[in-house]
Chains A and B, each alone.
Chain A
């Protein structure tokens, strides 16, 4: 279908984009357009105006100061998947970005657009929550930083206000003996995550010193699997321990919140989630060791 009619404005800077947002009620920010344009074409939304931030170069790129990596909101999934810096210091992120949709989606879709849309079946929210990301949001009072649990407020709902723009994401570089990985049960047609699992572990002499496991896909917003983490920390990591700990993922999933559809029911997703947790943990441990 064709999109409904809308006015189009291209912003040259974040400040100009914010002015345009203020000046046009019922307007929506357009970045890569790989979530928004299909929504318009399917007539699920009819905003009066689109504010295109897609050519603000300042919002593009990946840079590190040696401890914190900053990723501009307009950085594409393809750029993230190809980043050697991220592969070395935040491996789960390029691993997940490389599995989003198809090449066309990865070449146009952006990290900022992806997380601002906060589709529960998206890959990046769980990964960024696992990596302890801070989301940088610019509004009338300047810049503010929001952590993942506060950023992802529910199904497709984030901390970004009507008059604010997400400008980037910040991550800490993985330290010595630390590594992360992403493992996903992809819907065979859409490649959306039926279940997506991100894990970050710290190892010292074969003993797990830290663990963070976050699941997505089957929940409205990323959920930390605290029981899995507790079963790992302080233990000598073996294949058996990872399998046993992974089975505790169900303890962190509230049945009332689980998402299902005709392809994969909520119960099925919950019952099989442990396999993807195990996959992410095994890969993270292999990288850390």
Chain B
């Protein structure tokens, strides 16, 4: 499954990059995520509850930040499994600057398997976009300092 998205922020790339790579901010903004536990070397252990309607699953896995180049780009590697299936993926994040604002481009590729992939295929892309939209909306509030 492929995912592409672009999100704009009214803040400098430095601020956006710092927020996106701060495990506490990420955990607070990722829907259903309680905490990111550091494992060292920019690797974290994550537990996430992802659910739409009655379909709900708890995922446990690792998140790794690589190729960090503040404030322009990094790569996010995620691997996890849960009751409804497993997922493994990589996302390239590039932050561009235009005047006083920033634009974040996300290009991700993921393999999803297990029950959710067999029967929930048509919902995967929509769910991914919904989680990403919620994440960036929350991040925008934190970065731009707008009260939620």
9-residue interface stretch from B36-44, B51-59, B86-94, B100-108: B51-59
When C-beta atoms are compared, the residue in chain A nearest to B125 turns out to be: A259
Q: Is the CB of A45 within 8 A of B129?
A: no
Q: Is the CB of B130 within 8 A of A220?
A: yes
- CB contacts (< 8 Å) of B129 on chain A: these are 220, 256-257
CB contacts under 8 Å to A, within B1-16, are 5
Q: Is the CB of A261 within 8 A of B121?
A: yes
| Interchain CB contact (< 8 A) of B55 among A44, A158, A261 | A44
Which one of B54, B115, B119, B121 has the highest number of Cβ atoms from chain A below 10 Å of its Cβ?
Answer: B54
When C-beta atoms are compared, the residue in chain B nearest to A187 turns out to be: B122
B111 touches A (CB below 8 Å):
no
Q: Is the CB of A118 within 8 A of B53?
A: yes
Q: Is the CB of B57 within 8 A of A44?
A: yes
Q: Is the CB of A155 within 8 A of B123?
A: yes
CB contacts under 8 Å to B, within A141-155, are 154-155
Distance between Cα atoms of A154 and B134 in the complex (Å): 11
- CB contacts (< 8 Å) of B123 on chain A: these are 120, 155-156
User: Known contacts A44-B116, A121-B122, A261-B122: does B53 contact A157 (CB below 8 Å)?
Assistant: yes
User: Known contacts A44-B119, A261-B121: does B53 contact A154 (CB below 8 Å)?
Assistant: no
Distance between Cα atoms of A262 and B57 in the complex (Å): 24
User: Known contacts A155-B127, A220-B126, A220-B130: does B83 contact A43 (CB below 8 Å)?
Assistant: yes
User: Interface size bucket, B side?
Assistant: 20 to 34
Least CB distance, B130 to chain A, in whole angstroms:
5
Least CB distance, A125 to chain B, in whole angstroms:
12
A42 touches B (CB below 8 Å):
yes
Chain A 227-265, CB within 8 Å of chain B: the 1/0 string? 000000000000000000000000000001101111000
Distance between Cα atoms of A119 and B56 in the complex (Å): 14
Distance between Cα atoms of A116 and B5 in the complex (Å): 28
Distance between Cα atoms of A156 and B55 in the complex (Å): 9
Least CB distance, A29 to chain B, in whole angstroms:
9
CB contacts under 8 Å to A, within B123-140, are 123, 125-127, 129-130
Distance between Cα atoms of A259 and B124 in the complex (Å): 10
| Interchain CB contact (< 8 A) of A39 among B5, B55, B130 | B55
Chain A 113-154, CB within 8 Å of chain B: the 1/0 string? 000111111000000000000000000000000000000001
A36 touches B (CB below 8 Å):
yes
B84 touches A (CB below 8 Å):
yes
When C-beta atoms are compared, the residue in chain B nearest to A158 turns out to be: B53
Q: Is the CB of A42 within 8 A of B54?
A: no
B120 touches A (CB below 8 Å):
yes
- CB contacts (< 8 Å) of A118 on chain B: these are 53
**Residues of B bordering A, CB below 8 Å:** 5, 51-57, 83-84, 115-116, 119-123, 125-127, 129-130
The 5 closest A-B pairs by CB, nearest first: A156-B53, A156-B52, A155-B126, A261-B122, A44-B55
29 CB-based A-B contacts, threshold 8 Å: A35-B54, A39-B54, A39-B55, A42-B115, A43-B83, A43-B84, A44-B115, A44-B116, A44-B119, A45-B51, A45-B54, A46-B56, A46-B83, A116-B53, A117-B53, A119-B53, A154-B130, A155-B123, A155-B127, A155-B130, A156-B52, A156-B53, A157-B53, A220-B129, A220-B130, A257-B129, A259-B125, A259-B126, A260-B125
10 more A-B residue pairs beyond the given contacts A39-B54, A256-B129, with a C-beta to C-beta distance below 8 A: A42-B119, A44-B54, A44-B57, A44-B116, A46-B83, A117-B53, A121-B122, A155-B127, A156-B55, A156-B123
